[in-house]
């Protein structure tokens, strides 16, 4: 989805590389998704543990913002890295890529083939100190995010339903449908942006759009 000239590029971007073809095995009803879920168990365990770590880190990221006006670099590496990892795993689960997700926070090191899901965080030059005020900042942020949270809930249901039919074109012609990248991939992008705003990686209020 193209971005109009008057829309500012958001600080969090997610791009999907569309493979030339998809493995039909993953499109076999029930069997494909069951095997994929089993393969993802190590990721689920690690991401579950990391979610608690991220929650604890979030309790202290406000300190350098409030006193220095800068979000800590380790916040992008760990909290942002957790979000990247989670997005990669979900993209694999929903079939946007057949490549097994890597066990890492960052991007592929130089010389390695990049993963087909590219998550980028633009680091702002300065942050609004208001969002770093203990308790008040996060409470206000959660209140103004209510429309997004409602939309995410609705979209999650839509994406789940669509996930039940994306296997059909893959099984028939080996291609994941373009609308799958636009809607399911767009949902992953949207969800990531709301999460990044919640955790303070950006002060830009997330846009109401699935595209870039």
pLDDT reported for residue 125: 86
pLDDT reported for residue 176: 94
Is 60 exceeded by the pLDDT of residue 2? no
Q: Number of C-alpha atoms within 13 angstroms, CB side, residue 135? A: 0
Is 80 exceeded by the pLDDT of residue 198? yes
Distance between CA atoms of residues 112 and 183, nearest Å:
29
Residue-wise pLDDT for 16-46, tens only, equals 999 989 999 999 999 999 999 999 999 999 9
Buried b (16+ CB within 10 A) or exposed e, 107-118: eeeeeeeebbbb
CA 112 to chain centroid, in Å, comes to: 22
CA 193 to chain centroid, in Å, comes to: 7
Task: Show the tokens assigned to 170.
Answer: 């893959």
Q: What is the dihedral of CA 87, 77, 108, 94, to 10 degrees?
A: 0
Decide if 27 contacts 170 (C-beta within 8 A): yes
pLDDT reported for residue 212: 84
Task: Show the tokens assigned to 14.
Answer: 């997610």
Distance between CA atoms of residues 77 and 151, nearest Å:
28
Is 60 exceeded by the pLDDT of residue 8? yes
Q: What is the dihedral of CA 172, 1, 183, 202, to 10 degrees?
A: 140
Q: How far is CA 164 from CA 40, 49, 66, 75, 81, in A?
A: 19, 29, 45, 36, 29
pLDDT reported for residue 1: 43
Is 90 exceeded by the pLDDT of residue 95? yes
Which of helix, strand or coil describes residue 56?
A: helix
Query: DSSP label at 120?
Result: E
Distance between CA atoms of residues 151 and 208, nearest Å:
9
Whether the pTM exceeds 0.85: the reply is yes
């Amino acid at each position: 989805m193209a971005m109009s000239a008057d829309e500012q590029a958001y600080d969090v971007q997610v791009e999907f590389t569309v493979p030339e073809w998809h493995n039909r095995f993953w499109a076999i009803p029930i069997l494909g998704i069951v095997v994929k879920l089993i393969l993802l168990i190590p990721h689920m365990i690690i991401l579950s543990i990391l979610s608690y770590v991220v929650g604890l880190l979030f309790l202290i990221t406000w300190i350098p913002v409030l006193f220095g006006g800068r979000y800590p670099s380790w916040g992008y590496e760990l909290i942002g890295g957790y979000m990247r990892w989670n997005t990669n795993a979900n993209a694999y689960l929903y079939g946007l890529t057949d490549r097994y997700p890597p066990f890492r926070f960052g991007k592929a090191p130089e010389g390695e083939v990049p993963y087909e899901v590219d998550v980028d965080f633009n680091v702002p030059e300065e942050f609004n100190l208001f969002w770093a005020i203990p308790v008040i900042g996060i409470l206000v942020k959660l209140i103004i995010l209510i429309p997004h949270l409602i939309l995410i809930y609705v979209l999650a249901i839509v994406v789940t339903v669509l996930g039940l039919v994306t296997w059909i074109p893959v099984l028939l012609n080996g291609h994941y449908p373009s609308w799958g990248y636009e809607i399911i991939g767009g949902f992953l992008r949207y969800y990531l942006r709301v999460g990044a705003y919640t955790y303070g990686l950006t002060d830009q209020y997330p846009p109401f759009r699935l595209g870039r």
